[in-house]
Amino acid sequence: MEIKPLAHTPISEIVATLNHAFSDYFVPINFTEEYVNERWAASGVDYKLSFGVFDENKLVGFLIHAINFYGTTKVAYNASTGIIPKYRRQGLLTKLYDKAIVVLTENGIQKSTLECITKNERAIGAYQKVGFSIDRKYHLYKFDWKGIEVETELEIEIKAITDFQFSDFNHLQNYIPSIENQNHFLEKYKQNLTAISVFDKNENVAYLIFHNTSKRIHRLGVKNNNWKKYGAILFSGLQKANYNIINIDSENKSMHKFFKKMNFDNYINQYDMSFDFV
């Protein structure tokens, strides 16, 4: 078997291997090339710094790296890792990282981050063996939104906005967004995003940003983290659809209490993990 960069591997082959690798995953996955291209382009994936395991020229495992900043630190974000079932338990993840760390370090990158489902104890153990440690825990939700009407004494106006600036909502951000939900990531497909903004006497008091096609809510927040006061009003601005909310820090108790009250399904949790090479 050979480990080499994915710079010359067709995206169709990578996606086929990805879907095969995740065919028995906790959450059913069947990615399309269009979805993968958009998401990985937004993430900043660099195929020269991403690696595959090849057996007789067949891709059987991969490590996809998006090179970007987490705060002020340049990192290699693990956008996806997968080994097809037949090739598991052969130490291929460790071998991928042995190769990757050398090349990443040569390119001035000394830190990697990733997200891993908390139930996936085997993967967590494998990442910890490589050198990763757990930093934060995220909750993920999904819900079939039927719409609500909210009675309030506030002077409320709700707007759906497509020409927003991320800085418009800085004062409402109640948690640190995960790496794929930070401004510089979302900016790359902003044309597919809509913001719902709640105004009370012309003051912006709540917001959320969602993807028009996937209905994924990437970011949301309310004034003073007061979800009891503003939460239902904010969600009343959403059209009926099936939505999902990803990577909300478990420490934001007020937000999670509101989601529980709304009967949103906390269908899975993830760990945010990181590894400093030096």
Q: What is the DSSP string of 150-190?
A: ---SS-EEEEEESS--GGGGGGG--SPPPGGGSHHHHGGGG
CATH 3.40.630.30 fits 2-109, yes or no: yes
Q: Give 163's contacts (C-beta < 8 A, 6+ positions apart).
A: none
State the distance between the two ends of the chain, measured CA to CA, in whole angstroms: 28
pLDDT digits (tens, 9 = 90+) for 177-223: 998 898 888 988 899 999 999 999 999 999 999 999 999 999 999 99
Q: What is the pLDDT of residue 116?
A: 95
**Sign of the torsion angle spanned by Cα atoms 239, 240, 242, 243:** positive
Q: Hunting for tokens 């000394």 — which residue is that?
A: 110
CATH 3.40.630.30 fits 140-269, yes or no: yes
Name the residue among 100, 21, 14, 94 with its Cα closest to residue 59: 14
User: Whole-prediction pTM value?
Assistant: 0.88
Same fold, 2-109 and 140-269: yes
Structure tokens at 177: 């967004």
Instruction: Tell me the residue ranges of DSSP E strands in 71-131.
Output: 73-83, 111-117
Eight-state DSSP code of residue 251: T
Q: What is the pLDDT of residue 110?
A: 87
Domain ranges of the chain: 2-109, 140-269
Q: Hunting for tokens 């130490």 — which residue is that?
A: 91
Ranges under pLDDT 70 in the chain = 71
Q: What is the pLDDT of residue 184?
A: 83
Q: How far apart are CA 200 and CA 230, in angstroms?
A: 10
Find the angle CA(126)-CA(270)-CA(80) to the nearest 5 degrees: 60
275 touches 112 (CB < 8 A): yes
Q: How far apart are CA 178 and CA 119, in angstroms?
A: 19
Q: What is the pLDDT of residue 253?
A: 96
Q: What is the pLDDT of residue 231?
A: 97
Q: How far apart are CA 251 and CA 36, in angstroms?
A: 30
Name the residue among 192, 233, 223 with its Cα closest to residue 209: 192
